[in-house]
Amino acid sequence: MSIRPLIAGNWKMNGLKGESSEVIRELLAKVSTVANPGCDILICPPALVVNELAALCEGTSISIGGQDCHPNVSGAHTGDISAEMLKDAGASYCIVGHSERRTDHGESNETVKAKAEAAIRAGLIAIVCVGETLEEREGGKTLNVISEQVKNSLPEGATAENTVIAYEPVWAIGTGKTPTPQDVAEVHAHMRAELSALMTDANGVRLLYGGSVKGSNAPELMGLENVDGGLVGGASLTAEDFWPIIETGI
């Protein structure tokens, strides 16, 4: 079946109000030159600017998402943000389980699953991240690690409409290194097979690749079978760098 690509930018802890708005305006200007974009475009900025950027993007081809959420609707969770708050601010997606959350904050598959379920509960599309470390890859454990993370992080009630899976090999994030196209294709085919045992509409789930995606390698990566878009880090911080990646989907 034909799957509409998703090109998503994860800004991580980057972007003050003024510069963030300027990047969005530049992207909107570029998108406005395309009559019917062939992909969905998403920016996940720091939570403090979600509301402002969502307002800028209202009625356009660019969506805004969150980078994380708390599993609960509300409560005594100082410093946390609920999926409902993100939705209220104008977000339509939420990343959960990014390797930086799993590593820096000790998030388990069970925690990631709970956050994904919270995102869906709030009416957001959950982008569930999976990926192996360099040690796991060199130990020949990549597919086993991916299987475990997919099975145990997938939210209850996951469908192709409310869930996206993003493969980001931990060792490739921000390093400039990427797996070979054959390696990426192998992992994405494996994820599709795993999902087929868990979901009735697995063939419609968008599978994103992330990990040092840039304009120079995006055409080859996005052209692989079972790669339905990208989750882009550093290269999404400027319109100049992000637009060539978006063009692979347009």
Query: Active-site residue 186, yes or no?
Result: no
Q: How far is CA 88 from CA 44, 83, 149, in A?
A: 15, 9, 29
Given the residues 70, 84, 98, 107, the one annotated as active site: 98
**CA–CA gap between residue 97 and residue 91 (Å, rounded):** 18
Count Cβ neighbours within 10 Å for each residue of 209-226 and write b for 16 or more, e otherwise. Answer: bbbbbbbebbeebbebeb
**β-strand partners of 42:** 8, 63
**CA–CA gap between residue 171 and residue 177 (Å, rounded):** 8
Token readout for 8 is: 């998503």
Given the residues 168, 188, 190, 194, the one annotated as active site: 168
Q: How many DSSP H helices and E strands does the chain contain?
A: 10, 8
AA letter at 51: N
Query: Active-site residue 98, yes or no?
Result: yes
Residues ≥6 apart with Cβ < 8 Å to 62 = 24, 27, 28, 31, 41, 42, 43
**CA–CA gap between residue 167 and residue 208 (Å, rounded):** 6
What stretch of H or E contains 64? strand 62-66
Residues designated as active site: 98, 168
